[in-house]
Amino acid sequence: MPPIRAASPDAIAEAAACLRSGGLVAFPTETVYGLGADATDDRAVAHIFAAKGRPHFNPLIAHFADADTAAAEVVFDARADRLAAEVWPGPLTLVLPRRRDCRISLLCSAGLETQAVRVPDQPVAQELLRAVGRPVAAPSANRSGRISPTSATDVAADLGDTVDLILDGGACRVGIESSILDLSGRHPRLLRPGGLSLERLSELLGEAPEFAEPGGAVTSPGMLESHYAPDKPLRLEVDDPQPDEGLLAFGAEVPAGAAATLNLSPTGDTTEAAANLFAYLRRLDAAPVRALAAMPIPDIGLGLAIRDRLRRASAPRSA
Ligand code: TXA
Ligand code: MG
């Protein structure tokens, strides 16, 4: 097992040195834990794909301490400037054209002419990124197709000794991955609903973004149908849980009858539910139940992202 280190200044300095010499470091962000590598180092980036067991070279998000360092690698337009100023640091990823002198490995763009960039809102991530002084490529620190990790122990359970170091910064505050907005075309396109609500994003853009079509042309492989998969089958929109099911509940009125129940938010708050989603999915998956069942979630606030992840978690598995 890789060392899990509490995120002290010493541990962060060690992690930064490890990244600068081509190593892999898992680190906390406000959304989920990331599996980081020096984004300017082709070999280090290639190691990410190997560690995740990713079948394809999916493009990766490059992480920065601030918008200015991101702007050295990709081209910001007025919309991107405004979103960065309002939201960063925060749970929004922007897909923007690469600059001609972009230093980020082409592997991170996976053949596209764009690069995804984001500035995380988490003190450990911020300190680490400043100490590294280079963009850090990081997908979620889970094996490909599995549930994203929201704690250091989740990372250790999933990635074992394929990482050099895991920085423990506690549980992730948002708990669901960043919203991904493609600004490389004329109209903004939401590639993945996430930690920034669609309502807020539309307000900031002054228009509702287009939606990337699920199952359509894969411009964002995170759009693959079977993703975020627990081991056990998952049934959605459930109001009649069975005695052999583990129920992911939401709201005050919870039907009886499940073998085990975890309530994402007894008060019906989608932000609280998002923060609990992946941890509760993992707990129910590990519980002595045959299958999982989830109650309906409203598509307001972070409910849209939760519904998206649950739909993928329940999708038929590709081999
Ligand atoms: O919250 C997050 O975004 C977390 C933390 C660690 O930052 N990261 C994350 O990375 O969720 P990952 O690799 O698990 O998901 C990123 C998604 C992938 O589905 C990928 O296909 C998409 O972003 N993506 C990355 N670069 C892209 C690009 N240039 N164009 C379109 N999609 C892109
Ligand atoms: Mg992921």
Question: Hey, where are the domains in the chain?
Answer: 4-211, 234-314
Is 4-211 a domain of CATH 3.90.870.10?
A: yes
Is 216's pLDDT higher than 80? no
Any ligand 1 atom below 6 A from CB of 150: no
**Domain 4-211 shares a fold with domain 234-314:** no
CA of 266 to the centre of ligand 1 (A): 30
In this prediction, residues 134-151 reach a mean pLDDT of 95
Is 215's pLDDT higher than 50? no
CA-to-CA distance for 238 and 128, rounded, in angstroms? 42
Q: How many CA atoms lie within 13 A of 229 on its CB side?
A: 16
The mean of the pLDDT values for the chain is: 93
Predicted confidence band of residue 53 (pLDDT cuts 50, 70, 90): confident
Residue 228: what pLDDT?
A: 75
Task: Determine how β-strand 291-294 pairs with β-strand 234-235.
Answer: parallel
CA-to-CA distance for 283 and 92, rounded, in angstroms? 27
The runs of H, that is alpha helices, within 178-221 are: 198-205
- Helices 123-132 & 9-20, crossing angle to 10 degrees? 50
Amino acid identity of residue 261, one-letter, is T
Strand order in the sheet with 234-235: 234-235, 291-294, 245-249, 260-263
Residue 224: what pLDDT?
A: 55
- Which pTM value belongs to this model? 0.93
Residue 225: what pLDDT?
A: 58
Any ligand 1 atom below 6 A from CB of 304: no
Q: Is 59 in contact with 221 (CB distance < 8 Å)?
A: yes
Q: Is 235 in contact with 134 (CB distance < 8 Å)?
A: no
Residue 160: what pLDDT?
A: 80
Q: Determine which of 42-46, 93-97, 291-295 has the lowest per-residue pLDDT on average.
A: 42-46
Q: Kindly state the helix (H) or strand (E) to which residue 234 belongs, with its residue range.
A: strand 234-235
CA-to-CA distance for 102 and 80, rounded, in angstroms? 17
Task: Determine how β-strand 189-192 pairs with β-strand 179-182.
Answer: antiparallel
CA of 244 to the centre of ligand 1 (A): 35
Predicted confidence band of residue 58 (pLDDT cuts 50, 70, 90): confident
- Helices 303-314 & 270-286, crossing angle to 10 degrees? 20
- Helices 152-159 & 270-286, crossing angle to 10 degrees? 40
Q: Is 233 in contact with 269 (CB distance < 8 Å)?
A: no
The protein residue with its alpha carbon nearest to ligand 1, atom 15, reads 139
CA of 78 to the centre of ligand 1 (A): 22
According to CATH, the superfamily of the domain at 234-314 is Threonylcarbamoyl-AMP synthase, C-terminal domain (3.40.50.11030)
| Residue listed under structure tokens 């307000």 | 203
Residue 226: what pLDDT?
A: 61
Is 132's pLDDT higher than 60? yes
CA-to-CA distance for 25 and 2, rounded, in angstroms? 10
Any ligand 1 atom below 6 A from CB of 31: yes
Instruction: For residue 149, give the nearest of 231, 286, 7, 33 by alpha carbon.
Output: 33
In this prediction, residues 127-155 reach a mean pLDDT of 96
